[in-house]
Structure 1
Amino acid sequence: MKGSTLSKQEFTIEDLKRILLEGAGADEGVDLNGDILDTDFEELGYESLALLETGGRIEREYGIALDDDVFTDNHTPRALIEAINASLRALVEA
């Protein structure tokens, strides 16, 4: 049962791109469809306020609570996705 719940709640790069676009849009000249996993959020045009809005959307959609430092400590989509999935796993295992 836990495994099926986890697979349903895995957070992916597609989820992140969708939520970023819904919450903050995208800067002109930024291609979120490119290889952005290791690109710093600031280079992608997302500053702390946009990331906090993104965090609120993730929390509501996935039913998890994320500390603000999740966004200040994880500067790339890859790092943020890993941190969010760790939070989701902790929720499932609780």
Structure 2
Amino acid sequence: MNAHGRGFITISMLGLDGLKVIQAVIEERVMPSLADERLRLSRRGVDRLANGYRCEGAAGLVSRRRGHRAIISCPSSFALKLWRSFVSATPIPGRR
């Protein structure tokens, strides 16, 4: 649901093409082996998208990780310390 309480999603033209391919897989008009080539995914990826679409419609194709921090992200204070130590240890050409 969006902020207005409606069940809309925004999708790009590339995403719309992917949606059509997944719909064709579910309707058995396209073989999953052709769909994985078209979408540049593994067979497992196509199966996961098809299952998501069957359960939730187009919303089932949206990544659950969208809008979340990366799993391997680090606190900004640590990243800043790491960057400073890297910069101080990196030789600069022409500088002694």
Q: Which has the higher contact order (CA 8 A, sep 6+)?
A: 1
Question: Same fold, TM exceeding 0.5?
Answer: no
State the TM-score, normalizing by the size of structure 2: 0.33
TM-score, L = length of structure 1: 0.33
